[in-house]
Structure 1
Amino acid sequence: MFATTADELREMIRQHPGQSPSTFLRDDSFAAWCYDNRDRRWLKAAFNRDADPDDCRRWGISSAEWKANVEMAWLAVSG
């Protein structure tokens, strides 16, 4: 079971407090990549700016999807 939105991830984290939030991120997602490769400060700053067009192109995602994935990674890192 994987989260597809930040709200879904929040709910999964709430329902399964003993599990690492990263287990709810799809392994091949931009959110999981951000979780593995970015820190909280980068994620928070990224959420407050426009989507990176290179990331969007590389991952085949829209600006809105980029923002949602960054938010999910931030939630997972923040626990």
Structure 2
Amino acid sequence: MSLTLEILKEKYGAVMTLEQLADTLSRKPEGLRMALLRKEPWAEDINKAKVYIGRRVYFPVEVIANLLDGASSDINNS
């Protein structure tokens, strides 16, 4: 387990909200929403991994940690 993953799991648990992800990336939530509409590889990885619980959207910390560590996420094996 990477240090990034350990830190994110300790702070947020298994999943993050959009607001928490924006804070982690030092962005405003609305700016992050707009950035996730782009067809860039990092945005596509995040969009593929997002999970809906009711009407709320969550992002698995494992995928975010992999992206922050510079590794490509493998959604099917996480």
Structure 1 length-normalised TM = 0.30
The structure richer in helix per residue is 1
Structure 2 length-normalised TM = 0.30
The structure richer in strand per residue is 2
| Structure number with higher relative contact order (C-alpha < 8 Å, ≥ 6 residues apart) | 1
